[in-house]
Amino acid sequence: MTDRAARKGASSTKKETEMPKMKTKKAAAKRFKITATGKLKHGVAGKRHRLISHNAKYIRQNRGTSVGAKADEARVKKFLPYGL
């Protein structure tokens, strides 16, 4: 065994490899928040432009955020592995 091979073997004390971290889908992170009870909160669609054609009740009811559907919850939470 050469001196170089002996040194190489001695310094190869790698720690055990870990699984890579999961990445958050940034598009979902910008659009959704998870509440303290685990529900999904999101902004309401249809508020960006052409609001003149909608009546005041529609605009008022779609103000703020709302809780997402239970059916979509699992799919969106998969995009947010560490929550928000």
pLDDT value for 9 = 58
Per-residue pLDDT of the chain (84 residues; tens, 9 = 90+): 566 666 665 555 667 788 899 999 999 999 999 999 999 999 999 999 999 999 999 999 999 999 999 999 999 999 999 987
Pick from 72, 79, 82, 64: nearest CA to 40 = 72
pLDDT value for 18 = 87
Interatomic CA distance for residues 82 and 79, integer angstroms: 9
Q: Which two tokens stand for residue 15?
A: 């720690």
Q: What pTM was estimated for this model as a whole?
A: 0.68
Question: For residue 29, what are the CA distances in angstroms to 3, 7, 32, 62?
Answer: 53, 48, 6, 21
Number of other residues whose CB lies within 10 A of the CB of residue 40: 22
HSE on the CB side for 71, CA within 13 Å? 0
Set out the domains of the chain in order of their start, with CATH numbers: 22-79 (4.10.410.60)
Tokens 């659009």 sit on residue? 31
